[in-house]
A = this chain, B = another copy of it.
Amino acid sequence: MNNVSRRGLIASTGAVAAAAALDTFVGSSAIHASTPPAGKQAPGFYRARLGDFEITQISDGAATFAMPDGWVKNIPKDQALATAAAAHMPEGKLNVPFNPIVINTGSKLVLIDTGYGPNIGPTVGLLPVHLAAAGIDPKSIDTVVLSHLHPDHINGVKTKDGVVAFPNAEHKVPAQDWTFWMSEDNAAKADSQMMKNYFANVRKVLGDMADKVTKYEWGKEVAPGITALDTPGHTPGHTSFVVASGNAKMLVQSDVTNIPEFFLRNPDWHVAYDIDPVKAAQTRHKFYDMAAAEKTLIAGFHFAFPSQGYVEKDGNGYRLVPIRWNPVL
């Protein structure tokens, strides 16, 4: 007896009791017809055209964690907690997403930033899974560009076995960040556990690649149509990118802000990760004033997936207008 005729029978008796009685003979699974839950999220990638380029935003995942003391250094924690609550984050917690970007320029397949890499946790380090879902073979990446040398941007350079994850790619690092992080003097002067960890991590991930990486300079192309833009403060060599094809243009901001609900809305707030917080705030104003005036599309590594939007001036800060999901490329 198939579902349709069973349903017809139940409808014709008009009685839930009859269905229940029937259960005793045929088992409940046929009556309670529903499919089991899928239990699986949609793949975290999003495509867009930019002139002749194809952009694929890739989710490396998102971390939800209790807000540390001093996460925003220059406001009271109560105010930071209220800001998180206003963004409907779980009570007392932060939610920080990580979104690398792939740009197919036609001649080069370029990955900007590599995510948190392996061994972090079930909701982070998903770049390889979502690249596969997007049909992008790691072997086909021609150029890996790192915006700066923090762990959530560089750790995906290596697989869990410690080998290079993008074996055919040229790896490009910002010259100033390389100099800063590879300096033994600077490492010795690290004045917090966080900074000590960062210095150690750069050595662990990139230490054996010193003769393989290409150092890039601000104001120059890292790939055809992709120009490095100086946005220092977060780290000494922190870099954003202007991506241009024909008349189309976008800004890949990297970490000009961490989550926009805090630091785009309030550009003078200092996130704990900004190494030179005053310079980082200056960079935010300069960068977003330009983007707002020119109405330029921005991709933000820490914007909520699909992590692209436009910026408007709003009082002393800015407001993010997320893109509207385009269902057909």
Binding site for B on A (CB under 8 A): 3-4, 7, 11, 32-35, 37-47, 54, 56, 59, 61-62, 86-89, 95, 97, 104-109, 122-123, 126, 133-137, 139-140, 142, 167-168, 170, 295, 304-306, 310, 312, 321-329
Contacts and interface: CB of A to CB of B under 8 A. Distances in A.
A304 B329 contact: no
Contacts of A328: 41, 61, 122-123, 126
Contact of A41 (B108, B139, B329): B329
Nearest to A28: B107
* Pairs of residues from A and B, 9 with the lowest C-beta to C-beta distance, nearest first: A305-B325, A37-B54, A34-B109, A304-B324, A41-B329, A61-B327, A32-B107, A35-B140, A123-B328
Contacts of A323: 88
Nearest to A7: B168
Given A34-B105, A38-B47, A42-B134, A62 B168 contact: no
A179 B168 CA distance: 66
Contacts of A3: 139, 168
A268 to B, nearest CB: 22
Given A4-B168, A62-B324, A322-B322, A46 B42 contact: yes
Contact of A62 (B37, B97, B133, B327): B327
Nearest to A85: B295
Contacts of A4: 167-168
Given A34-B105, A87-B324, 13 more contacts: A4-B168, A33-B140, A33-B142, A34-B107, A34-B140, A38-B56, A42-B46, A61-B328, A88-B295, A88-B310, A95-B324, A305-B325, A306-B325
A47 B54 contact: no
A88 B321 contact: yes
A110 B312 CA distance: 40
Nearest to A48: B41
A42 B42 contact: yes
Contacts of A38: 47, 54, 56, 104, 134-136
